[in-house]
Structure 1
Amino acid sequence: MNAIPADRLLWEESLPGGNHWSGRLRRGTALRLTDLQGGANVSALFYNAGQPLERYSMPDTLKSQHTGFLTAGHVCQSDMGRVLCSITADSLGWHDSWCGVSDAAMVLARYGEKRYQQHRNAMHRNGRDNLLIELAKWGLGARDLVPGVNFFSKVVPDADGALSHVGGHSVAGSFVDLRFEMDTLVVLSSAPHPLDARADYAPADVQLAAWRADPVGADDACRTQCPQNGRAFTNTERYCGAAA
């Protein structure tokens, strides 16, 4: 993991396991997610901060880059053919892009009930409600929930197409770096992955750190990963008023 230059660091914050976070990341800013304990899952949604009707598109992201998972060199595309963010570094090589998030019924059936009234911050939270809480802070709601990314999680199909969660994929210190190519609303949940087979509700804490990124060059690995990425970067630069 490359150290974040101290003179570029903007802020650091801890996202406790099972909790939620949202914020606006400006164009030219990078965000590092670090699994602090191993076994983390961070479900992420991305929206154009200025016009949130434009948001992350899982189908466009995967088909344009001919992949079923995300890793370094890939970008997260919007439904307008622009790049919301790029994955510039990644210690794991695989992040789930298929499975969505847990809901209250899933968490209750798998882990039992722990309500805030009795357990306070040790309550059982689920991914869907976490994301809805954060979306509401920005005037968004259930109709704005779209398929997102589950960072730190790996899911694989068997010969019949059934999906299974790969336990032990992320260890303490695993990280992924995102560079934002347009002003982006980022919404995160650190609740367990919906296919995580562990019997105990023990979501891992995650460290967030933001810094000023280097400019994107013509030979940038995310830009040149495939022709579709190059076109998406050009669309983004035109939208943002930068030189193409």
Structure 2
Amino acid sequence: MTHIPRSADAIAADRARYEEHQRKGLNAAPKALPAPSPRPAPAPAGVIWAETVPGGWYYTCRLARGQSLRLEAGGLGGSVSLAAWSAADSSERQNLPDTCKLQWTTDLKKGRVVFSDMGRVLFSITEDSAGANDALSGGMPARAPFTPAFRSTRENMILATAKLGLDKRDLPALLTFFAPVRVDGEGQFFWNPALLNGDDWVELRAEQDLLIALSNTRHPLDPTTGPEVPSVRATRLAARPIARDDLCRTATAEAVRGFENTARA
């Protein structure tokens, strides 16, 4: 293939279009996201099912549109990696690069949404006590540095996808909760333990019927040592009314368009 160099004017024009698009996106975002959710988590209402997910284990479920999934940390040392697919068509799955790009941030927390690879919204983050969620580095790789009986995130997710009737090729990039990964001035990942409290929690509202897979393992950047990982509580909650000015649905112009795409499907 012959490479055709682009002129400086063409490059500058592309850059100007990008900066204008970025300006519109940033100006449409709220001036400030809501305060973190209170700790400890209040007693849940409308419980459909509750499950304790031990350290090193996985969990799968189906969420109907409007239902929520609450995740409650049982202490420090565990992180919950999540993958989501449309239940109607599992070829539609979460897309973290698009999710971050469309919302102009990698800081996915209360008030943000997660998009699919078809530009539709899969779920909204409606509650979040810490904002310590990792959309960049994924979970523990196949070779976990713990005991042989301790499965890695990768191994858990392969088992979880099989249980859902899927294949490891269906796995998207994972969103990991209770994982305070940040990026320093040199572009290096680092772990900020000050963001975690041990009793943190999140709630995710399904914006379409979903298949969900979770893995409760230690994050590869977590400096905590030892094989023990605390259990996590996963609770499915019944659908609740959604306000017209719901922040997740109105925070950015891209989120508004994503919900319009979701409604048309």
Fold equivalence (TM over 0.5): yes
* Alpha-carbon displacement from aligned partner over 1:88-129 (angstroms, at most 9, x marks no partner): 011002311001121232x13xx3xx33xxxxxxx2110000
Determine the structure 2 residue equivalent to 1:229. 255
Task: Name the larger-Rg structure.
Answer: 2
Determine the structure 1 residue equivalent to 2:177. 151
Aligned partner of residue 190 in structure 1, secondary structure: strand
How many residue pairs get matched? Answer: 225
Structure 1 distance, partners of 2:135, 2:198, is: 21
Aligned partner of residue 262 in structure 2, secondary structure: helix
Determine the structure 2 residue equivalent to 1:184. 210
Determine the structure 1 residue equivalent to 2:109. 71
State the percentage of identical aligned residues. 37
Deviation at 1:148, TM superposition (A): 1.4
Change (3 A) 1:168 1:141: farther
Runs of 4+ more than 4 Å apart: none
Q: Which amino acid aligns with 1:66?
A: W
Determine the structure 1 residue equivalent to 2:225. 199
Gaps of 5+ in 2: 1-40
Gaps of 5+ in 1: 116-122, 240-244
Deviation at 1:168, TM superposition (A): 5.2
Determine the structure 1 residue equivalent to 2:238. 212
Determine the structure 2 residue equivalent to 1:93. 131
On the 8 A contact 2:77/2:224 being kept in 1, the answer is no
Greater RCO between the two (CA within 8 Å, min separation 6)?
1
Determine the structure 2 residue equivalent to 1:118. none
The two structures have a TM-score, normalised by structure 1, of 0.88
Q: Which amino acid aligns with 2:151?
A: R
Structure 1 stretch displaced more, 73-82 or 30-39 = 30-39
**What is the aligned counterpart of 1:175 among 201, 210, 213?**
201
Structure 1 distance, partners of 2:42, 2:134, is: 23
Structure 1 distance, partners of 2:76, 2:239, is: 26
Structure 2 distance, partners of 1:142, 1:11, is: 27
Determine the structure 1 residue equivalent to 2:79. 41
Change (3 A) 1:169 1:204: farther
On the 8 A contact 2:132/2:196 being kept in 1, the answer is no
Deviation at 1:171, TM superposition (A): 2.2
Deviation at 1:34, TM superposition (A): 0.3
Q: Which amino acid aligns with 2:43?
A: A
Q: Which amino acid aligns with 1:164?
A: F
Deviation at 1:235, TM superposition (A): 1.2
Structure 2 residue 167 is matched with structure 1 residue 129: no
**What is the aligned counterpart of 2:166 among 130, 140, 162?**
140
Structure 1 distance, partners of 2:153, 2:172, is: 13
CA RMSD between the two structures: 1.4
* Alpha-carbon displacement from aligned partner over 1:37-61 (angstroms, at most 9, x marks no partner): 2232000001001211000000111
Q: Which amino acid aligns with 1:37?
A: G
Structure 2 distance, partners of 1:27, 1:192, is: 30
The two structures have a TM-score, normalised by structure 2, of 0.81
Change (3 A) 1:97 1:191: same
